[in-house]
Amino acid sequence: MTEWETVVGLEVHCELATATKLFCACRNAFGDEPNTNICPVCLGLPGSLPVLNRGAVELAMRLGLALGCTVEPSLFHRKNYFYPDMPKDYQVSQYDQPINVDGVLELADGTRVGIERAHLEEDTGKSTHVGGGGRIHEADHSLVDYNRAGVPLVEVVSRPDLRSAEAARAYVNELRAVLVATGASDARMEEGSMRVDANISVRPVDFSTLGTRCEVKNLNSTRSLGRAIDYEARRQIALLEAGEQVTQQTRHWDEADGRTHPLRSKEEAYDYRYFPEPDLVPLVPGDAWRTSVAESLPPLPAPRRRRLAEATGSATAAVAVVVERGLDDLVLAALAAGGDAQRLVVHAEHDLAGGVGALTTDAFAALTRMEADGALTATQAKAVLAELVANGGDPAAVAAALGYEAMAGDALAVAVDDAIAANPDAWARYLAGDTKVSGFFVGQVMRATKGQADGRVVTALLGQRADAGG
Amino acid sequence: MAERITRDDVAHVAGLARLELTDEELERFTVQLAAVLDHAADVEALDTAGVAPTAHPLPLVNVLRDDVVRPGLDRDVVLAAAPSVEDDRFRVPPVLGEPS
Ligand SMILES: [Zn+2]
Protein backbone atom coordinates (compact mmCIF):
# COMPACT_ATOMS: atom_id res chain seq x y z
CA MET A 1 0.00 0.00 0.00
CA THR A 2 1.35 3.40 -1.00
CA GLU A 3 2.37 5.79 1.73
CA TRP A 4 1.36 9.34 0.85
CA GLU A 5 2.87 12.69 1.64
CA THR A 6 0.87 15.92 1.77
CA VAL A 7 2.52 18.94 0.16
CA VAL A 8 1.27 22.43 0.99
CA GLY A 9 2.23 25.93 -0.14
CA LEU A 10 0.41 28.95 1.26
CA GLU A 11 -0.53 32.31 -0.20
CA VAL A 12 -1.28 34.76 2.56
CA HIS A 13 -2.81 38.17 1.89
CA CYS A 14 -1.89 40.63 4.62
CA GLU A 15 -3.52 44.05 4.87
CA LEU A 16 -0.89 46.63 5.69
CA ALA A 17 -1.41 48.84 8.74
CA THR A 18 -1.15 52.13 6.87
CA ALA A 19 -3.26 55.22 7.50
CA THR A 20 -4.34 55.41 3.84
CA LYS A 21 -4.95 53.20 0.81
CA LEU A 22 -2.25 52.06 -1.61
CA PHE A 23 -2.88 54.57 -4.39
CA CYS A 24 -5.13 57.25 -2.85
CA ALA A 25 -5.46 59.22 0.40
CA CYS A 26 -8.69 57.51 1.54
CA ARG A 27 -8.64 56.14 5.06
CA ASN A 28 -7.61 52.49 5.46
CA ALA A 29 -9.88 51.34 8.29
CA PHE A 30 -11.85 48.23 9.16
CA GLY A 31 -15.48 48.50 10.18
CA ASP A 32 -16.32 52.02 8.99
CA GLU A 33 -19.77 52.82 7.58
CA PRO A 34 -20.01 51.41 4.01
CA ASN A 35 -18.70 53.59 1.19
CA THR A 36 -17.43 56.37 3.43
CA ASN A 37 -13.75 55.96 2.47
CA ILE A 38 -13.98 56.39 -1.28
CA CYS A 39 -12.62 58.82 -3.87
CA PRO A 40 -12.23 59.05 -7.66
CA VAL A 41 -9.06 56.88 -7.61
CA CYS A 42 -10.41 53.89 -5.70
CA LEU A 43 -13.75 54.15 -7.52
CA GLY A 44 -11.91 54.05 -10.83
CA LEU A 45 -13.53 57.23 -12.09
CA PRO A 46 -12.26 58.40 -15.49
CA GLY A 47 -9.33 60.81 -15.34
CA SER A 48 -8.18 59.83 -11.84
CA LEU A 49 -4.55 58.83 -11.33
CA PRO A 50 -2.99 56.58 -8.68
CA VAL A 51 -0.03 57.75 -6.58
CA LEU A 52 1.87 55.13 -4.57
CA ASN A 53 1.81 55.34 -0.76
CA ARG A 54 5.32 55.65 0.71
CA GLY A 55 4.12 54.15 4.00
CA ALA A 56 2.83 51.02 2.27
CA VAL A 57 6.15 50.55 0.46
CA GLU A 58 7.99 50.93 3.74
CA LEU A 59 5.82 48.33 5.51
CA ALA A 60 6.19 45.92 2.57
CA MET A 61 9.95 46.33 2.81
CA ARG A 62 9.87 45.77 6.59
CA LEU A 63 8.01 42.52 6.08
CA GLY A 64 10.22 41.45 3.17
CA LEU A 65 13.43 42.13 5.06
CA ALA A 66 12.07 40.40 8.17
CA LEU A 67 11.44 37.35 5.96
CA GLY A 68 15.01 37.49 4.71
CA CYS A 69 13.90 38.51 1.20
CA THR A 70 15.92 40.59 -1.22
CA VAL A 71 14.22 43.93 -1.95
CA GLU A 72 14.27 44.36 -5.71
CA PRO A 73 13.33 47.12 -8.15
CA SER A 74 9.68 46.39 -8.94
CA LEU A 75 6.81 47.19 -11.28
CA PHE A 76 3.03 47.28 -11.08
CA HIS A 77 0.75 45.49 -13.51
CA ARG A 78 -2.95 45.49 -14.18
CA LYS A 79 -4.67 42.17 -13.52
CA ASN A 80 -7.82 42.38 -15.61
CA TYR A 81 -11.03 40.73 -14.62
CA PHE A 82 -14.66 41.68 -14.79
CA TYR A 83 -16.12 41.65 -11.33
CA PRO A 84 -17.97 44.31 -9.38
CA ASP A 85 -15.61 44.20 -6.38
CA MET A 86 -13.10 46.22 -8.45
CA PRO A 87 -14.81 49.20 -10.06
CA LYS A 88 -11.89 49.67 -12.47
CA ASP A 89 -12.29 46.07 -13.71
CA TYR A 90 -8.66 45.46 -12.92
CA GLN A 91 -6.61 45.07 -9.79
CA VAL A 92 -3.20 46.69 -9.59
CA SER A 93 -0.70 44.08 -8.49
CA GLN A 94 2.92 43.12 -8.98
CA TYR A 95 3.50 40.40 -11.51
CA ASP A 96 6.90 39.39 -12.85
CA GLN A 97 8.94 41.93 -10.87
CA PRO A 98 7.75 41.87 -7.24
CA ILE A 99 9.29 44.01 -4.50
CA ASN A 100 10.43 41.12 -2.24
CA VAL A 101 11.85 37.82 -3.47
CA ASP A 102 13.49 34.69 -2.07
CA GLY A 103 13.14 34.65 1.68
CA VAL A 104 12.61 32.14 4.42
CA LEU A 105 10.34 31.83 7.44
CA GLU A 106 11.72 29.80 10.33
CA LEU A 107 9.01 28.07 12.36
CA ALA A 108 9.05 27.52 16.12
CA ASP A 109 10.28 23.93 15.73
CA GLY A 110 13.15 25.04 13.51
CA THR A 111 11.55 24.09 10.16
CA ARG A 112 12.61 26.53 7.44
CA VAL A 113 9.94 27.36 4.86
CA GLY A 114 10.99 29.07 1.65
CA ILE A 115 9.29 32.34 0.68
CA GLU A 116 9.05 32.72 -3.08
CA ARG A 117 7.89 36.34 -3.06
CA ALA A 118 6.03 38.96 -1.04
CA HIS A 119 4.50 41.48 -3.41
CA LEU A 120 2.38 44.61 -3.13
CA GLU A 121 -1.16 44.81 -4.47
CA GLU A 122 -4.46 46.50 -3.75
CA ASP A 123 -7.37 44.86 -1.98
CA THR A 124 -10.82 44.58 -3.56
CA GLY A 125 -14.14 45.92 -2.35
CA LYS A 126 -16.42 43.81 -0.19
CA SER A 127 -19.45 42.12 -1.75
CA THR A 128 -22.46 40.95 0.20
CA HIS A 129 -24.64 38.44 -1.62
CA VAL A 130 -28.36 38.91 -1.05
CA GLY A 131 -30.86 36.07 -1.43
CA GLY A 132 -30.03 32.40 -1.94
CA GLY A 133 -28.91 32.11 1.68
CA GLY A 134 -25.82 34.24 1.00
CA ARG A 135 -24.44 31.71 -1.47
CA ILE A 136 -22.82 33.45 -4.36
CA HIS A 137 -24.25 31.27 -7.13
CA GLU A 138 -27.81 31.47 -5.89
CA ALA A 139 -27.78 35.15 -4.97
CA ASP A 140 -30.49 37.41 -6.25
CA HIS A 141 -28.13 40.36 -6.32
CA SER A 142 -25.00 41.65 -4.61
CA LEU A 143 -24.20 44.79 -2.62
CA VAL A 144 -20.75 46.33 -2.80
CA ASP A 145 -18.87 48.45 -0.28
CA TYR A 146 -15.70 50.04 -1.71
CA ASN A 147 -14.10 51.04 1.60
CA ARG A 148 -11.70 48.11 1.22
CA ALA A 149 -11.03 48.68 -2.50
CA GLY A 150 -7.45 49.89 -2.80
CA VAL A 151 -6.33 49.00 0.73
CA PRO A 152 -2.68 47.94 0.55
CA LEU A 153 -1.89 44.23 0.74
CA VAL A 154 1.25 42.20 0.72
CA GLU A 155 0.73 38.72 -0.66
CA VAL A 156 3.27 36.35 0.85
CA VAL A 157 3.75 33.26 -1.32
CA SER A 158 5.54 30.31 0.28
CA ARG A 159 7.28 27.52 -1.54
CA PRO A 160 5.59 24.10 -1.31
CA ASP A 161 7.70 23.26 1.73
CA LEU A 162 4.96 22.39 4.23
CA ARG A 163 4.14 18.72 4.83
CA SER A 164 1.14 18.69 7.16
CA ALA A 165 -1.86 20.61 8.43
CA GLU A 166 -0.01 21.19 11.66
CA ALA A 167 3.00 22.67 9.86
CA ALA A 168 0.72 24.94 7.82
CA ARG A 169 -0.91 26.24 10.99
CA ALA A 170 2.49 26.79 12.57
CA TYR A 171 3.53 28.74 9.47
CA VAL A 172 0.50 31.02 9.70
CA ASN A 173 1.10 31.60 13.42
CA GLU A 174 4.74 32.44 12.77
CA LEU A 175 3.92 34.76 9.88
CA ARG A 176 1.37 36.49 12.10
CA ALA A 177 4.04 36.97 14.79
CA VAL A 178 6.40 38.51 12.21
CA LEU A 179 3.64 40.79 10.86
CA VAL A 180 2.84 42.02 14.35
CA ALA A 181 6.50 42.37 15.39
CA THR A 182 7.33 44.45 12.30
CA GLY A 183 4.13 46.50 12.60
CA ALA A 184 3.33 45.61 8.98
CA SER A 185 -0.19 44.37 9.77
CA ASP A 186 -2.45 43.67 12.71
CA ALA A 187 -2.86 40.21 11.10
CA ARG A 188 -6.37 39.50 12.35
CA MET A 189 -7.81 36.55 10.47
CA GLU A 190 -11.25 37.14 11.98
CA GLU A 191 -11.35 40.66 10.53
CA GLY A 192 -9.92 39.52 7.22
CA SER A 193 -6.71 41.51 7.55
CA MET A 194 -4.87 38.20 7.07
CA ARG A 195 -6.36 35.78 4.51
CA VAL A 196 -4.95 32.39 3.65
CA ASP A 197 -5.25 30.31 0.47
CA ALA A 198 -3.67 26.86 0.42
CA ASN A 199 -2.20 24.96 -2.54
CA ILE A 200 -2.52 21.31 -1.63
CA SER A 201 -1.27 18.18 -3.40
CA VAL A 202 -0.28 14.65 -2.44
CA ARG A 203 2.39 12.28 -3.73
CA PRO A 204 3.90 8.93 -2.78
CA VAL A 205 6.51 9.61 -0.10
CA ASP A 206 9.40 8.49 -2.30
CA PHE A 207 8.45 10.77 -5.22
CA SER A 208 10.35 13.99 -5.79
CA THR A 209 7.97 15.52 -8.34
CA LEU A 210 4.87 17.33 -7.12
CA GLY A 211 1.35 15.98 -7.63
CA THR A 212 -1.45 17.97 -9.25
CA ARG A 213 -2.57 20.63 -6.79
CA CYS A 214 -5.83 22.24 -5.82
CA GLU A 215 -6.05 25.75 -4.46
CA VAL A 216 -8.40 26.00 -1.50
CA LYS A 217 -9.97 29.34 -0.57
CA ASN A 218 -12.24 30.66 2.17
CA LEU A 219 -10.03 29.63 5.08
CA ASN A 220 -11.04 32.02 7.83
CA SER A 221 -9.06 30.62 10.73
CA THR A 222 -6.03 28.42 11.32
CA ARG A 223 -8.50 25.76 12.43
CA SER A 224 -10.27 25.87 9.04
CA LEU A 225 -6.88 25.76 7.34
CA GLY A 226 -5.91 22.58 9.21
CA ARG A 227 -9.25 20.90 8.60
CA ALA A 228 -9.25 21.82 4.91
CA ILE A 229 -5.74 20.43 4.37
CA ASP A 230 -6.61 17.15 6.07
CA TYR A 231 -9.86 16.83 4.12
CA GLU A 232 -8.30 17.75 0.79
CA ALA A 233 -5.37 15.35 1.24
CA ARG A 234 -7.80 12.51 2.04
CA ARG A 235 -9.94 13.38 -1.00
CA GLN A 236 -6.95 13.42 -3.36
CA ILE A 237 -5.48 10.19 -1.96
CA ALA A 238 -8.87 8.46 -2.38
CA LEU A 239 -9.02 9.59 -6.02
CA LEU A 240 -5.50 8.38 -6.78
CA GLU A 241 -6.00 5.06 -5.01
CA ALA A 242 -9.14 4.52 -7.07
CA GLY A 243 -7.04 5.00 -10.20
CA GLU A 244 -8.46 8.43 -10.96
CA GLN A 245 -6.73 11.76 -11.49
CA VAL A 246 -6.72 14.93 -9.42
CA THR A 247 -8.02 17.84 -11.49
CA GLN A 248 -6.18 21.11 -10.99
CA GLN A 249 -8.84 23.53 -9.79
CA THR A 250 -9.80 26.13 -7.24
CA ARG A 251 -11.95 24.81 -4.42
CA HIS A 252 -13.97 26.51 -1.72
CA TRP A 253 -13.81 25.34 1.91
CA ASP A 254 -17.22 24.95 3.52
CA GLU A 255 -16.78 25.21 7.28
CA ALA A 256 -20.28 23.86 7.92
CA ASP A 257 -20.01 20.55 6.04
CA GLY A 258 -16.25 20.20 6.50
CA ARG A 259 -15.54 19.69 2.79
CA THR A 260 -14.05 21.51 -0.17
CA HIS A 261 -16.20 22.15 -3.25
CA PRO A 262 -15.08 23.07 -6.76
CA LEU A 263 -15.85 26.65 -7.70
CA ARG A 264 -18.12 26.92 -10.66
CA SER A 265 -15.88 29.32 -12.53
CA LYS A 266 -15.52 29.74 -16.20
CA GLU A 267 -12.14 28.86 -17.66
CA GLU A 268 -11.81 32.40 -18.97
CA ALA A 269 -11.92 33.83 -15.45
CA TYR A 270 -8.21 33.00 -15.26
CA ASP A 271 -7.27 34.89 -18.39
CA TYR A 272 -6.08 37.99 -16.54
CA ARG A 273 -4.21 39.63 -19.43
CA TYR A 274 -1.59 41.22 -17.17
CA PHE A 275 0.08 44.28 -18.61
CA PRO A 276 2.26 47.03 -17.09
CA GLU A 277 0.23 49.73 -15.31
CA PRO A 278 0.94 52.82 -17.43
CA ASP A 279 -0.14 55.19 -14.64
CA LEU A 280 2.59 54.08 -12.23
CA VAL A 281 6.34 54.40 -12.65
CA PRO A 282 8.84 51.77 -11.41
CA LEU A 283 9.56 51.45 -7.71
CA VAL A 284 13.30 51.38 -7.04
CA PRO A 285 14.10 51.68 -3.33
CA GLY A 286 17.69 52.90 -2.96
CA ASP A 287 20.33 51.42 -0.67
CA ALA A 288 19.90 54.17 1.91
CA TRP A 289 16.16 53.54 2.25
CA ARG A 290 16.57 49.76 2.39
CA THR A 291 19.33 50.05 4.98
CA SER A 292 17.37 52.39 7.22
CA VAL A 293 14.34 50.07 7.10
CA ALA A 294 16.52 47.04 7.86
CA GLU A 295 18.13 48.83 10.80
CA SER A 296 14.76 49.83 12.25
CA LEU A 297 13.51 46.23 12.48
CA PRO A 298 12.84 44.95 16.01
CA PRO A 299 14.22 41.59 17.21
CA LEU A 300 12.18 38.92 15.39
CA PRO A 301 10.68 35.74 16.88
CA ALA A 302 13.15 33.22 15.39
CA PRO A 303 16.35 34.95 16.62
CA ARG A 304 14.64 35.67 19.95
CA ARG A 305 13.91 31.94 20.34
CA ARG A 306 17.50 31.06 19.51
CA ARG A 307 18.80 33.62 22.02
CA LEU A 308 16.55 32.28 24.80
CA ALA A 309 17.33 28.63 23.99
CA GLU A 310 21.06 29.32 24.09
CA ALA A 311 20.86 31.27 27.35
CA THR A 312 18.67 28.77 29.22
CA GLY A 313 19.25 25.44 27.50
CA SER A 314 15.49 24.92 27.51
CA ALA A 315 13.45 22.75 25.16
CA THR A 316 12.18 24.14 21.85
CA ALA A 317 8.49 24.01 22.74
CA ALA A 318 8.91 25.87 26.05
CA VAL A 319 11.09 28.51 24.42
CA ALA A 320 8.50 29.02 21.67
CA VAL A 321 5.72 29.62 24.21
CA VAL A 322 7.80 32.08 26.23
CA VAL A 323 8.72 34.10 23.12
CA GLU A 324 5.14 34.01 21.86
CA ARG A 325 4.05 35.50 25.21
CA GLY A 326 6.76 38.14 24.91
CA LEU A 327 8.33 37.02 28.20
CA ASP A 328 11.80 36.29 26.84
CA ASP A 329 13.22 39.68 27.84
CA LEU A 330 11.97 39.19 31.40
CA VAL A 331 13.45 35.70 31.61
CA LEU A 332 16.81 36.86 30.25
CA ALA A 333 16.91 39.83 32.64
CA ALA A 334 16.00 37.59 35.62
CA LEU A 335 18.67 35.14 34.51
CA ALA A 336 21.22 37.95 34.49
CA ALA A 337 20.00 38.89 37.99
CA GLY A 338 20.95 35.43 39.27
CA GLY A 339 17.74 33.45 38.61
CA ASP A 340 17.65 29.75 37.83
CA ALA A 341 17.37 29.26 34.05
CA GLN A 342 15.17 26.18 33.95
CA ARG A 343 12.76 27.39 36.61
CA LEU A 344 12.45 30.84 35.02
CA VAL A 345 11.42 29.24 31.73
CA VAL A 346 9.03 26.78 33.39
CA HIS A 347 7.22 29.58 35.25
CA ALA A 348 7.13 31.82 32.16
CA GLU A 349 5.71 28.92 30.14
CA HIS A 350 3.09 27.72 32.64
CA ASP A 351 2.37 30.35 35.27
CA LEU A 352 2.50 33.75 33.55
CA ALA A 353 -0.06 33.29 30.78
CA GLY A 354 -2.15 36.07 32.29
CA GLY A 355 0.71 38.56 32.31
CA VAL A 356 3.43 39.54 34.79
CA GLY A 357 1.38 42.07 36.79
CA ALA A 358 3.44 43.47 39.66
CA LEU A 359 6.24 40.91 39.32
CA THR A 360 9.68 42.49 39.14
CA THR A 361 12.75 41.03 37.47
CA ASP A 362 14.61 40.79 40.81
CA ALA A 363 11.68 39.11 42.60
CA PHE A 364 11.36 36.59 39.76
CA ALA A 365 15.07 35.83 39.94
CA ALA A 366 15.04 35.51 43.76
CA LEU A 367 12.00 33.21 43.67
CA THR A 368 13.66 30.71 41.35
CA ARG A 369 16.84 30.94 43.42
CA MET A 370 14.88 29.93 46.55
CA GLU A 371 13.34 27.08 44.60
CA ALA A 372 16.71 25.90 43.32
CA ASP A 373 18.12 26.02 46.85
CA GLY A 374 15.27 23.84 48.11
CA ALA A 375 13.74 26.60 50.23
CA LEU A 376 10.47 26.29 48.27
CA THR A 377 8.82 23.33 46.55
CA ALA A 378 7.59 23.75 42.98
CA THR A 379 4.00 23.93 44.25
CA GLN A 380 4.85 26.53 46.86
CA ALA A 381 6.83 28.57 44.34
CA LYS A 382 3.78 28.67 42.10
CA ALA A 383 1.67 30.08 44.93
CA VAL A 384 4.32 32.66 45.83
CA LEU A 385 4.60 33.66 42.16
CA ALA A 386 0.83 34.16 41.90
CA GLU A 387 1.02 36.50 44.88
CA LEU A 388 4.01 38.37 43.41
CA VAL A 389 2.06 38.87 40.17
CA ALA A 390 -1.04 40.04 42.03
CA ASN A 391 0.55 42.31 44.62
CA GLY A 392 4.29 42.43 44.12
CA GLY A 393 6.71 42.19 47.04
CA ASP A 394 9.70 40.14 48.07
CA PRO A 395 9.48 36.36 47.54
CA ALA A 396 11.04 35.45 50.90
CA ALA A 397 8.56 37.67 52.75
CA VAL A 398 5.65 36.32 50.71
CA ALA A 399 6.75 32.72 51.37
CA ALA A 400 6.96 33.43 55.10
CA ALA A 401 3.55 35.10 55.08
CA LEU A 402 2.09 32.04 53.36
CA GLY A 403 3.63 29.87 56.07
CA TYR A 404 6.03 28.01 53.80
CA GLU A 405 8.90 26.72 55.87
CA ALA A 406 11.29 24.64 53.91
CA MET A 407 11.50 21.09 55.15
CA ALA A 408 14.83 20.39 56.71
CA GLY A 409 16.89 18.12 54.54
CA ASP A 410 17.15 15.31 57.13
CA ALA A 411 13.39 15.25 57.74
CA LEU A 412 12.95 14.63 54.03
CA ALA A 413 15.65 11.95 54.02
CA VAL A 414 13.85 10.20 56.90
CA ALA A 415 10.57 10.30 54.96
CA VAL A 416 12.28 8.78 51.92
CA ASP A 417 13.88 6.02 53.99
CA ASP A 418 10.52 5.30 55.64
CA ALA A 419 8.85 4.97 52.25
CA ILE A 420 11.54 2.55 51.04
CA ALA A 421 11.31 0.47 54.21
CA ALA A 422 7.51 0.28 53.98
CA ASN A 423 7.48 -0.85 50.31
CA PRO A 424 10.23 -3.42 49.79
CA ASP A 425 8.65 -4.93 46.63
CA ALA A 426 8.38 -1.58 44.92
CA TRP A 427 11.92 -0.75 45.94
CA ALA A 428 13.18 -4.00 44.41
CA ARG A 429 11.48 -3.07 41.14
CA TYR A 430 13.08 0.37 41.31
CA LEU A 431 16.50 -1.20 41.80
CA ALA A 432 15.80 -3.53 38.88
CA GLY A 433 15.50 -0.44 36.69
CA ASP A 434 11.73 0.10 36.62
CA THR A 435 11.89 3.90 36.73
CA LYS A 436 8.11 4.26 36.72
CA VAL A 437 8.18 3.21 40.36
CA SER A 438 9.94 6.43 41.30
CA GLY A 439 6.65 8.27 40.79
CA PHE A 440 5.08 5.95 43.34
CA PHE A 441 7.77 6.75 45.90
CA VAL A 442 7.47 10.50 45.27
CA GLY A 443 3.74 10.14 45.90
CA GLN A 444 4.37 8.25 49.16
CA VAL A 445 6.81 10.88 50.40
CA MET A 446 4.46 13.69 49.36
CA ARG A 447 1.65 12.11 51.36
CA ALA A 448 3.89 11.62 54.39
CA THR A 449 5.06 15.25 54.23
CA LYS A 450 1.66 16.71 53.37
CA GLY A 451 2.98 18.00 50.06
CA GLN A 452 5.89 19.92 51.61
CA ALA A 453 8.58 17.92 49.82
CA ASP A 454 10.16 18.92 46.54
CA GLY A 455 9.52 16.09 44.08
CA ARG A 456 12.81 16.63 42.33
CA VAL A 457 14.75 16.39 45.58
CA VAL A 458 12.89 13.16 46.45
CA THR A 459 13.81 11.70 43.07
CA ALA A 460 17.43 12.66 43.64
CA LEU A 461 17.40 11.06 47.10
CA LEU A 462 15.95 7.84 45.66
CA GLY A 463 18.80 7.77 43.16
CA GLN A 464 21.33 8.28 45.94
CA ARG A 465 19.85 5.41 47.98
CA ALA A 466 19.99 3.14 44.92
CA ASP A 467 23.60 4.09 44.18
CA ALA A 468 24.45 3.39 47.82
CA GLY A 469 23.47 -0.21 47.21
CA GLY A 470 19.79 -0.28 48.13
CA MET B 1 1.40 35.34 -43.73
CA ALA B 2 -0.74 33.80 -41.00
CA GLU B 3 -3.67 35.79 -39.77
CA ARG B 4 -2.64 38.09 -36.95
CA ILE B 5 -5.91 37.67 -35.14
CA THR B 6 -8.95 35.54 -35.77
CA ARG B 7 -12.60 36.27 -35.33
CA ASP B 8 -12.58 33.75 -32.51
CA ASP B 9 -9.81 35.66 -30.71
CA VAL B 10 -11.85 38.84 -30.91
CA ALA B 11 -14.97 37.07 -29.67
CA HIS B 12 -12.93 35.65 -26.76
CA VAL B 13 -11.50 39.02 -25.76
CA ALA B 14 -14.93 40.63 -26.06
CA GLY B 15 -16.32 37.91 -23.81
CA LEU B 16 -13.68 38.63 -21.18
CA ALA B 17 -14.76 42.27 -21.16
CA ARG B 18 -18.44 41.22 -21.11
CA LEU B 19 -19.02 42.93 -24.46
CA GLU B 20 -21.72 41.61 -26.74
CA LEU B 21 -20.72 42.18 -30.35
CA THR B 22 -22.81 41.72 -33.46
CA ASP B 23 -21.41 39.65 -36.35
CA GLU B 24 -20.80 42.83 -38.26
CA GLU B 25 -18.85 44.32 -35.31
CA LEU B 26 -16.80 41.16 -34.93
CA GLU B 27 -15.75 41.38 -38.58
CA ARG B 28 -14.92 45.06 -38.35
CA PHE B 29 -12.94 44.79 -35.08
CA THR B 30 -11.00 41.79 -36.35
CA VAL B 31 -9.73 43.90 -39.24
CA GLN B 32 -9.02 46.91 -37.02
CA LEU B 33 -7.20 44.92 -34.34
CA ALA B 34 -5.14 43.20 -37.02
CA ALA B 35 -3.98 46.65 -38.16
CA VAL B 36 -2.92 47.47 -34.59
CA LEU B 37 -0.99 44.20 -34.40
CA ASP B 38 0.61 44.94 -37.75
CA HIS B 39 1.97 48.12 -36.26
CA ALA B 40 3.32 46.19 -33.26
CA ALA B 41 4.97 43.80 -35.70
CA ASP B 42 6.71 46.76 -37.38
CA VAL B 43 8.13 47.79 -34.00
CA GLU B 44 9.07 44.21 -33.24
CA ALA B 45 11.08 44.06 -36.48
CA LEU B 46 13.55 46.66 -35.16
CA ASP B 47 16.90 45.43 -33.90
CA THR B 48 16.77 46.07 -30.15
CA ALA B 49 19.61 43.73 -29.20
CA GLY B 50 21.62 46.55 -27.60
CA VAL B 51 18.68 48.41 -26.02
CA ALA B 52 17.79 47.91 -22.36
CA PRO B 53 14.09 47.19 -21.79
CA THR B 54 12.13 50.11 -20.36
CA ALA B 55 9.20 49.67 -18.04
CA HIS B 56 7.83 53.12 -18.61
CA PRO B 57 8.28 55.91 -21.17
CA LEU B 58 8.86 58.51 -18.42
CA PRO B 59 12.41 58.76 -17.03
CA LEU B 60 11.04 58.62 -13.47
CA VAL B 61 11.04 56.18 -10.56
CA ASN B 62 9.64 56.32 -7.00
CA VAL B 63 6.78 58.76 -7.43
CA LEU B 64 5.40 58.54 -3.90
CA ARG B 65 3.07 60.36 -1.55
CA ASP B 66 3.12 60.51 2.23
CA ASP B 67 0.72 58.25 4.12
CA VAL B 68 -1.65 61.03 5.18
CA VAL B 69 -5.46 60.85 5.04
CA ARG B 70 -7.29 63.39 2.90
CA PRO B 71 -11.06 63.67 2.52
CA GLY B 72 -12.56 61.71 -0.37
CA LEU B 73 -16.01 61.92 -1.90
CA ASP B 74 -19.32 62.29 -0.11
CA ARG B 75 -21.20 59.01 -0.08
CA ASP B 76 -24.57 60.50 -0.94
CA VAL B 77 -23.15 62.25 -3.99
CA VAL B 78 -21.46 59.09 -5.21
CA LEU B 79 -24.41 56.79 -4.57
CA ALA B 80 -26.72 59.24 -6.30
CA ALA B 81 -24.74 58.59 -9.49
CA ALA B 82 -25.06 54.80 -9.20
CA PRO B 83 -27.70 52.95 -11.25
CA SER B 84 -28.91 51.05 -8.20
CA VAL B 85 -28.32 51.39 -4.47
CA GLU B 86 -29.36 49.42 -1.40
CA ASP B 87 -28.30 49.80 2.21
CA ASP B 88 -25.65 52.47 1.42
CA ARG B 89 -24.02 50.01 -0.98
CA PHE B 90 -23.84 49.69 -4.74
CA ARG B 91 -26.42 47.17 -5.87
CA VAL B 92 -25.19 44.97 -8.70
CA PRO B 93 -26.65 42.01 -10.62
CA PRO B 94 -25.77 38.51 -9.43
CA VAL B 95 -22.36 37.43 -10.65
CA LEU B 96 -21.11 34.07 -11.75
CA GLY B 97 -17.49 33.07 -11.44
CA GLU B 98 -15.37 33.77 -8.43
CA PRO B 99 -13.12 36.79 -8.03
CA SER B 100 -9.45 36.16 -7.45
ZN1 LIG C 1 -9.73 56.51 -2.58
Q: Is residue A239 included in any domain, yes or no?
A: yes
Instruction: Quick: pLDDT tens for A245-268.
Output: 999 999 999 999 999 999 865 544
What percent of chain B clears pLDDT 70, i.e. is strictly above it? 92
- In angstroms, the CA A427 to CA A438 distance is 9
Note whether B73 contacts A43, CB cutoff 8 Å. Answer: yes
Q: Is residue A401 included in any domain, yes or no?
A: no
* CATH architecture assigned to B7-44: Orthogonal Bundle (1.10)
What is the ipTM, given to two decimal places? 0.86
- In angstroms, the CA A212 to CA A203 distance is 9
Do residues A120 and A200 both lie within one domain?
A: yes
What's the mean pLDDT when you consider all of chain A?
92
Do residues A35 and A61 both lie within one domain?
A: yes
Do residues A171 and A110 both lie within one domain?
A: yes
Q: What's residue A269's pLDDT?
A: 52
Do residues A117 and A259 both lie within one domain?
A: yes
Q: Is residue A398 included in any domain, yes or no?
A: no
Do residues A264 and A152 both lie within one domain?
A: yes
Using a CB–CB cutoff of 8 Å, tell me whether A145 touches chain B. Answer: yes
Do residues A362 and A441 both lie within one domain?
A: no
Do residues A267 and A340 both lie within one domain?
A: no
Q: Which residue range(s) make up the domain with A449?
A: 409-467
Give the pLDDT band (50/70/90) at residue A395: very high
Of A268, A295, A322, which closes a domain? A295
Q: Is residue A318 included in any domain, yes or no?
A: yes
Give the pLDDT band (50/70/90) at residue A153: very high
CA of B76 to the centre of ligand 1 (A): 15
Q: What's residue A201's pLDDT?
A: 97
Chain B residues with CB-CB distance to A56 below 8 A: 67
Q: Could you write out the DSSP letters of every residue in A282-303?
A: -B---HHHHHHHHHTPPPPHHH
Do residues A321 and A198 both lie within one domain?
A: no
Q: What's residue A407's pLDDT?
A: 58
Q: Is pLDDT larger for residue A333 or for residue B54?
A: A333
Give the pLDDT band (50/70/90) at residue A374: confident
Do residues A364 and A460 both lie within one domain?
A: no
Q: What's residue A131's pLDDT?
A: 80
Which residue of chain B comes nearest to A265, CA vs CA?
B97
CA of A269 to the centre of ligand 1 (A): 26
Note whether A53 contacts B64, CB cutoff 8 Å. Answer: yes
Mean pLDDT value across residues B57-70 = 95
Do residues A250 and A315 both lie within one domain?
A: no
- Residue A127's SS3 state is strand
CB count in 10 Å sphere of residue A469: 6
Instruction: Quick: pLDDT tens for A316-362.
Output: 999 999 999 999 999 999 999 999 999 999 999 999 999 999 999 99
Do residues A109 and A238 both lie within one domain?
A: yes
Segment among A214-223, A264-273, B44-53, B58-67 with least mean pLDDT: A264-273
Give the pLDDT band (50/70/90) at residue B59: confident
Instruction: Quick: pLDDT tens for A80-100.
Output: 988 889 999 899 999 999 999
CB under 8 A, 24+ apart: contacts of A127-134: A127/A84, A127/A85, A127/B92, A127/B95, A127/B99, A128/B89, A129/B94, A130/B86
Q: Is residue A290 included in any domain, yes or no?
A: yes
User: Full-prediction pTM beyond 0.90?
Assistant: no
Which residue of chain B comes nearest to A276, CA vs CA?
B55
How many folded domains does chain A comprise?
3
Do residues A79 and A116 both lie within one domain?
A: yes
Exposed / middle / buried, residue A173 (Cβ in 10 Å: 0-12, 13-18, 19+): middle
Q: What's residue B99's pLDDT?
A: 42
